[in-house]
Amino acid sequence: MKRFSKLINVRELLLPLGQLIMFSLGSAIVLSTIVLVLALLLDKTAIGMAVTERFNASLFTYTLINLPQVLIDGLTIGFVYAAVALGYTMVYGVLEFINFAHSEIFAVGAFVGVEILIALDTAGVLSKVSLGMAFVILILAILAGMFAAGALAVTVERVAYRPLRGAPRLVPLISAIGVSFLLQDVIRLVEGLTTGQFNRIFPTFGNFDERLIFGEVGLGATTITMGISIKSIIVIVGAVLMLVGLNYLVNATKIGKAIRAVAQDRTTASLMGIDVNHIISLTFLVGGLLGGAAGVLYALKFTRIDPFVGFFPGLKAFTAAVMGGIGNLTGALLGGIVLGMLETFAGSYMGIFTMGAAGTEYKDIFAFSILILVLIFRPQGLMGENVTQKA
Amino acid sequence: MSQILLYFQKFQTNIQKGIWPYVATLAHILLGTLLVYFSPRSTIAFLILVTSFFSLYYLKADNRFKLIAGITLALIIVPILGVRNIFYLEIIFQISVFAALALGLNIIVGFAGLLVLGYVAFYAVGAYLWGFFGSQQYYVMPFAPGTQPADLPFLLPGDAFYLFLMLAIIAAALTGILIGLPVMRLRGDYLAIVTLGFGEVIRVLANNLDKPLNLTNGPQGITPIQRPSLPESVVNGFNSIFSGIVGHPVDQASLYNVMFYILALVIIIIIVFVTKNLEDAKIGRAWAAIREDETAAVAMGIPIVKMKLLAFAIGASFAGAMGALVAASRTFVSPESFSFMQSIGVLSMVILGGQGSIPGVILGAATVTILNLQILQGFSLYLSQLRQSDAVIPIINFAWRNLSSQLDPAKYQRLLFGLILILMMIFRPAGLIPAERRKRKMASDTVEAKE
């Protein structure tokens, strides 16, 4: 028993789990309180009247009844953002460089996973698999997406970033933007040549679309069902596994120690016998693996993907990474969860609270507003230390 | 191989001596003119004509000669050949528009060293300003898109355009300052992402401000937008002089294209003039100092916030002017024209030509636009012809007919922009025509390295 605990550092496994639960609960409680207080305040105004007229319930009840669903949705998308944000944050921690192409690596992961499933579907395999096999196939698709994305990330680093190491800061960033644009069209080209369509749909199989219902509430003429779909559970479980695994890799293994050393001081690390180029490739590989898996999970949740699917999740994940304090793994988790929650809250309630003047369509720029606010008032992020700027 | 290279170098030095530059320039212009005149559909002829601007720039000749030849080429030859084949005039107009945008972005990126990824936001401000005031949109405001009555009046006469060209400059400059103020403290790469965010915010606003008040008409965009007036007498006058050379009488629509081309040209000349003067003035040197080393610049007493905001404002104002001009010439604005991809397109022009280099940036704009509109589209056309033919790729036995119709090279602009950005950064980060200051710096760097 003693030997076992030496082999596996239990603390590093439990700590991130605890953090995840804490962050999720914390942001859920804070945001719910804000929304409920707002609802109470606005109940007697014209906005409250409008809601009462439409749903035959007060604004407060309306808000309260919708809350569980909003929380679940927010948590699901939050975990996807967190998984992508880790890719940005790891690369930034090691190279101080925004890997703009990470969103396309995410997209490539999604495409590889979905294409494999579509191929299986047209071969007629998916329609007659058992429930257990469905899960196995899904896991295999996720793994395929992961490895494709990881290999791509390493290649991109080798071809487009490594020759530019040591150049002024903006040079590799511009190259990364170029890679991002190039990859979008390469996906389009490959899809156009092979399948002739750019929009791919995640095939339905297994019981992923079913929802576990835990309650129905009547609201005026409509009834609102509260539940969580199986695929949301898969997304959350998958993301949590990855996050914990990555945290373990970085904080409790020898490789992780090398990664942290390179992040802290590249020259000294190389003097200590660490192969810096190797570690940087490894960082991109890990980031790519996480991004690819997140891509397949994203496709599972939202069903439809196109070559530009990476852009918004990528940007939001970057926002999450900055919000948490870029370069900080725990910060990326916090940022992802908070951003996912905030965005879902905004998407669900903004329309009601502004009487339809501004609704879900502003969801995407909501993340930017947060990014700008964070950068203005707390550039080091929620959990980042105040580091001096390097030129 | 080295023999050919030697011969080429000899040719390069010889052509800069005596009367040869004059002969070469005139020959180039004449050849381009004649080729385009007699075979208006040939791409190569068009390229020869367009490149004559560059031989005019490169060859060592008297400045007065260059000026006269340049004016003749730009104001007489191009409009006449343009109305003969309106497609080329369109390309030249687009080159001018993008050259102006690239020159504006060049001030922010090339001079001040601030990477801005949402540059089209300023362009959108100019376009929507005239789009709103130059159309019926003021009276459409209470209606949801598509439900307005048919016979609404225009708010302003078309000639108010010239006033709004000025207002667009001011509005875009103010937007530049507004966006610049909060992000001034940020380091280079954060600034890039935040400006990207701002660019998207402007696009999403344009997409969604059709309620509660219909300001932008949503995704459908605003149309029709008025143009400044072009009297019948001008059309008749043009026809009486030039219709013989053009080969057919010119209608008002084509002449409008000429007018907007000349307006764009005037704006570009003003921009180049302003940029050239700024570059070597105190402001330009302050920008260079900020770009090279911000900490040192602060230590030397340069007011960096003021200087950065100035770069934002000036760079933005050029885009604002072009926005209003494009809104008037297209008579249509929609959020689609202001996507992130457009910002990157303009950035790739600046990077390709050379950051901080005025001729470089114009060359970059011309190259990217021609690649986009001529080469990629030509390739598309070629592929669609192959698709209709019975041709087969020999070894792999693939019939062109089976090629997916989704494969349309004209739509692969992102690939083009991406390749330009990556390759330039790896192989020639200073651009095709490096800026003088950078050239000097590179020379001193190599001297230091040798020592």
Cβ <8 Å between A371 and B429: no
Name the strand (E) or helix (H) holding A347: helix A329-353
Cβ <8 Å between B418 and A180: yes
Cβ <8 Å between B425 and A171: yes
Cα–Cα distances (Å) from A140 to A116, A136, A153, in that order, read 9, 6, 20
Cβ <8 Å between A357 and B196: no
Q: Quote the CA–CA distance of A319 and B186 in Å, as a whole number.
A: 15
Token duo for residue A330: 């725990």
* Partner A contacted by B402 (CB < 8 A): no
Q: Quote the CA–CA distance of B270 and B63 in Å, as a whole number.
A: 18
- Chain A residues in contact with B412 by the CB 8 A cut-off are 185, 188-189
Q: What is the pLDDT of residue A221?
A: 63
Give contacts of B 278-297 with A, CB under 8 A. Answer: 293-295
- Chain A residues in contact with B294 by the CB 8 A cut-off are 391
Q: Omega before B224 cis (within 30°)?
A: yes
Is the pLDDT score of A220 beyond 60?
yes
To the nearest whole angstrom, how far is the Cα of B260 from the nearest Cα of chain A? 32
- Chain B residues in contact with A193 by the CB 8 A cut-off are 403-404, 407
Place of tokens 């300052």: B177
Q: Which of A56-70, A351-365, B291-305, B423-437 has the lowest average pLDDT? A: A351-365
Place of tokens 């808000």: A63
Nearest to A169 among B189, B293, B426 (CB): B189
Q: What is the pLDDT of residue A360?
A: 73
β-pair partners for B228: none
- Chain A residues in contact with B420 by the CB 8 A cut-off are 178
DSSP-derived pairing of the beta strands A222-229 and A211-219? antiparallel
B235 CB contacts (<8 Å, ≥6 apart)? Answer: B250, B251, B252, B255
Nearest to B197 among A175, A181, A368 (CB): A368
Kindly report each contact of residues A259-263 with a partner whose C-beta sits within 8 Å and lies 24 or more positions away, as own/partner: A259/A90, A259/A94, A259/A283, A262/A94, A263/A93, A263/A94, A263/A327
CA of A187: which chain B residue's CA is closest?
A: B415
Q: What is the pLDDT of residue B235?
A: 80
Is the pLDDT score of A389 beyond 80?
no
- ipTM, two decimals, is 0.86
Residue B162 CB neighbours (<10 A): 13
Cβ <8 Å between B414 and A371: no
Nearest to A98 among B193, B204, B212 (CB): B193
Q: What is the CATH number of the domain that holds A200?
A: 1.10.3470
* Partner A contacted by B347 (CB < 8 A): yes
* Partner A contacted by B169 (CB < 8 A): no
Mean local confidence (pLDDT), A262-277: 90
Mean local confidence (pLDDT), A103-127: 91
- Show the 3-state SS of chain B: CHHHHHHHHHHHHHCCCCCHHHHHHHHHHHHHHHHHHHCCCCHHHHHHHHHHHHHHHHCCCCHHHHHHHHHHHHHHHHHHHHHHCHHHHHHHHHHHHHHHHHHHHHHHHHHCCCCCCCCHHHHHHHHHHHHHHCCCHHHHCCCCCCCCCCCCCCCCCHHHHHHHHHHHHHHHHHHHHHHHHHHCCCCHHHHHHHHHHHHHHHHHHHHHCCCCCCCCCHHHCECCCCCCCCCHHHHHHHHHHHHHHHCCCCCHHHHHHHHHHHHHHHHHHHHHHHHHHHHHCHHHHHHHHHHHCHHHHHHCCCCHHHHHHHHHHHHHHHHHHHHHHHHHHHCCECHHHHCHHHHHHHHHHHHHHCCCCHHHHHHHHHHHHHHHHHHHHHHHHHHHHHHHCCCEECCCCEEHHHCCCCCCHHHCHHHHHHHHHHHHHHHCCCCCCCCHHHHHHHHHHHHHHHC
Cβ <8 Å between B208 and A167: no
Name the strand (E) or helix (H) holding A237: helix A230-252
Nearest to B192 among A173, A311, A376 (CB): A173
Mean local confidence (pLDDT), A254-282: 91
Nearest to B344 among A163, A177, A369 (CB): A177
Give contacts of B 171-190 with A, CB under 8 A. Answer: 182-183, 185-190
Cβ <8 Å between A175 and B425: yes
DSSP-derived pairing of the beta strands A222-229 and B392-393? unpaired
Q: Quote the CA–CA distance of B39 and B387 in Å, as a whole number.
A: 26
The tens digit of pLDDT for each residue in A20-34 reads: 888 889 999 998 998
Cβ <8 Å between A167 and B418: no
Helix, coil or strand: residue A227: strand
Q: What is the pLDDT of residue A384?
A: 67
Residue A389 lies in a domain: no
Token duo for residue A274: 């660490």
More confident: A124 or B332: B332
Q: What is the CA radius of gyration of chain A?
A: 22
Is the pLDDT score of A199 beyond 90?
no
Domain regions of chain B by residue span: 1-84, 85-450
Cβ <8 Å between B422 and A175: yes
Cβ <8 Å between B193 and A371: yes
Mutate to test the interface with A, among B426, B441, B442 (most CBs of A within 10 A): B426
Cβ <8 Å between A365 and B419: no
To the nearest whole angstrom, how far is the Cα of B226 from the nearest Cα of chain A? 30
Query: Can you say how many angstroms the Cα of residue A164 is from the centroid of all Cα atoms in its chain?
Result: 28
Helix, coil or strand: residue A1: coil
Residue A215 lies in a domain: yes
Residue A391 lies in a domain: no
Token duo for residue A221: 């003429």
Cβ <8 Å between A167 and B188: no
Residue A311 structural domain: 9-377
Q: What is the pLDDT of residue A324?
A: 85
Query: Can you say how many angstroms the Cα of residue A273 is from the centroid of all Cα atoms in its chain?
Result: 34
Burial of A103 (0-12, 13-18, 19+ CB in 10 A): buried
Q: What is the pLDDT of residue B264?
A: 92
Place of tokens 């011309």: B366
Confidence grade of residue A388 (pLDDT, cut at 50, 70, 90):
very low
Q: What is the pLDDT of residue B223?
A: 82
Are the C-beta atoms of residues B331 and B224 closer than 8 Å to each other? yes
Place of tokens 């120690």: A257
Token duo for residue B316: 């933005």
Mean local confidence (pLDDT), A330-338: 88
- Chain A residues in contact with B295 by the CB 8 A cut-off are 391
Mutate to test the interface with A, among B216, B350, B416, B422 (most CBs of A within 10 A): B422
To the nearest whole angstrom, how far is the Cα of A302 from the nearest Cα of chain B? 21
Handedness of CA B64, B67, B72, B75 (dihedral sign): negative
Token duo for residue A27: 């942001």
Nearest to A164 among B293, B344, B425 (CB): B425
CA of B210: which chain A residue's CA is closest?
A: A357
Give contacts of B 189-208 with A, CB under 8 A. Answer: 189-190, 192-194, 196-198, 200-201, 204-205, 207-208
Q: What are the phi and psi torsion angles at A216 (to 5°)? A: -130, 140
Residue A1 lies in a domain: no
Residue A79 lies in a domain: yes
Cβ <8 Å between B421 and A97: no
Residue A17 lies in a domain: yes
CA of A376: which chain B residue's CA is closest?
A: B182
The answer as to CATH 1.20.81 being correct for domain B85-450 is no
Residue A383 lies in a domain: no
Low-confidence ranges of chain B (pLDDT < 50): 450-451
Give contacts of B 20-79 with A, CB under 8 A. Answer: none
To the nearest whole angstrom, how far is the Cα of B45 from the nearest Cα of chain A? 31
CA of B110: which chain A residue's CA is closest?
A: A170
Is the pLDDT score of A290 beyond 80?
yes
To the nearest whole angstrom, how far is the Cα of B430 from the nearest Cα of chain A? 10
Is the pLDDT score of A143 beyond 70?
yes
Are the C-beta atoms of residues A206 and A131 closer than 8 Å to each other? yes
To the nearest whole angstrom, how far is the Cα of A354 from the nearest Cα of chain B? 10
Q: How many domains does chain A have?
A: 1
To the nearest whole angstrom, how far is the Cα of A116 from the nearest Cα of chain B? 21
